[in-house]
Amino acid sequence: MTCSRNVAVESLAIKLEKLTDGGLVVFGNESRVGETAKRHLLEPKLQRQPAHVAVEMIDKFSSKMQSASSELLDGLCARQTLAIPCKRPLWRRAWSAYMRQRCLYPGLLQEWALRVARCGRAQVRKVADECQSEILGNANIILCTIASTSRLLREWQEVCGKKPRIHTVIVDECGCTTESSTALLIRLNPTNLIMVGDHKQLPPTSMIPEKKLVGTGHDQSLLARCCATASMHILNEQYRMHGKICALVSYQFYENLLLTSPTIVDDRQRKEKHPLIWVSVRGKEKFLPGKTSPVNYDEISAVLRVVTSLREEHPCASISVLTFYKGQLEVNPLTAYQCAGQNSLVYYECQFYFLGLQIRNDLTCRYAFVYVCIHVCIYV
């Protein structure tokens, strides 16, 4: 299970596809999942089953017979009502009986075509049910978001006639899953429940604004509650960040528990001796007409100058610009680069990041988003 993001489903599907030989099944909305996950949905897997491919000709023939039956029926109805001598009910019934007797063989042909079509469709449905049951019976890894758990239970019940037997449920990015979502996981009745995530990064996602959830009990993840009340296993060695960036993050947010792999330390140090650079911009925020999110044009100009210089030095490098403000994102002229707002780039990796903090150091002592440690931890 993943949190509510289908991007995470796609990322996991790419990795899990290499570990299992046809035993991966994905449940979700076909229009929302990625290309790799889409190949492992129940319907596409069904289309690739040899038995289902064999009955495709039956399905096509059944469709033709259905069309032929409809055309014959329309013709017979038109013939019966073509020229009725009298409009009285008795005459109409007598005329219909006469025409049915006269068009006996076309009528029989229409009924035969309809029966053939129905028998063919019934055989196709039977083979499809057997194939789907076989696919689900051979599945050893099931991948979906927590929100798609209801779809998983419903489709499994419809195909197999019983609930799935789940031994272990692994919840990825559990730190951004609300406690109320655990009711869906309990419906699976698993033997083991493993929660993987970081409660100091992405907060629980909800359609309700974050500020309105404060004090309601729905702004905390199950992972955060378990970490506060029970023991946990910490993966304290990281292999993505530069060693110096890791040291800062470890000191500020993880009580110096986070370490960097020695091989990563040496490799990153050779490539970049100054991984974290602070650029002070003395600009003022402005609010555009009809907008509630501020814009700092001086910061945008500073980022543009640095990005241009960096692009000249590293023409093939991947560069991303991140900002806390939607207004800053909308007017950003860096359309050639990956620009995103809060929590939008957590599933993408780039070589260079530009983080616009927009710290307000005026007399009002307003620090915008940076006063929330979890936001800064996510970005850095």
**pLDDT for the residue 335:** 47
| pTM listed for this prediction | 0.69
With helix as H, strand as E and coil as C, how does the chain read?
A: CECCCHHHHHHHHHHHCCCCCCCEEECCCCCCCCHHHHHCEHHHHHHCCHHHHHCHHHHHHHHHHHHHHHHHHHHHHHHHCCCCCCCCHHHHHHHHHHHHHHCHHHHHHHHHHHHHHHHHHHHHHHHHHHHHHHHHHHCCEEECEHHHHHHHHHHHHHHHCCCCCCCEEEECCHHHCEHHHHHHHHCCCCCEEEECCCCCCCCCCCCCCHHHHCCCCCCCEHHHHHHHHCCCCCCCEECCCCHHHHHHHHHHHCCCCCEECHHHHHHHHHHCCCCCCCCCCCCCCECCCCCCCCECHHHHHHHHHHHHHHHHHCCCCCEEEEECCHHHHHCCCCCCCEEECCCCCCCCCCCEEEEECCCCCCCCCCCHHHHCHHHHHHHC
Half-sphere exposure of 151 (CA within 13 A, CB side): 16
User: What phi and psi values does residue 286 have, to the nearest 5 degrees?
Assistant: -130, 150
Give domain 6-33+141-229's CATH number out of 2.130.10.30, 3.40.50.700, 3.40.50.300, 3.40.1190.20.
3.40.50.300
Q: Are 321 and 337 in contact (CB under 8 A)?
A: yes
What residues in the chain have per-residue pLDDT under 70?
Answer: 3-4, 54, 56, 72-110, 112, 206-207, 209-210, 217, 332-349, 357-373
Q: Are 168 and 190 in contact (CB under 8 A)?
A: yes
Name the maximum alpha-carbon separation found in the chain: 101
**pLDDT for the residue 101:** 60
Q: How far apart are CA 114 and CA 376, in angstroms?
A: 67
**91-136 pLDDT, tens per residue?**
566 666 656 665 555 666 667 677 777 777 777 788 888 888 888 8
User: In which region does residue 191 sit, left (phi positive, over 0), alpha (psi from -120 to 50) or beta (all else)?
Assistant: alpha
17, amino acid identity: E
**pLDDT for the residue 143:** 92
**pLDDT for the residue 363:** 47
Give me the CATH code for the 277-379 domain, please: 3.40.50.300
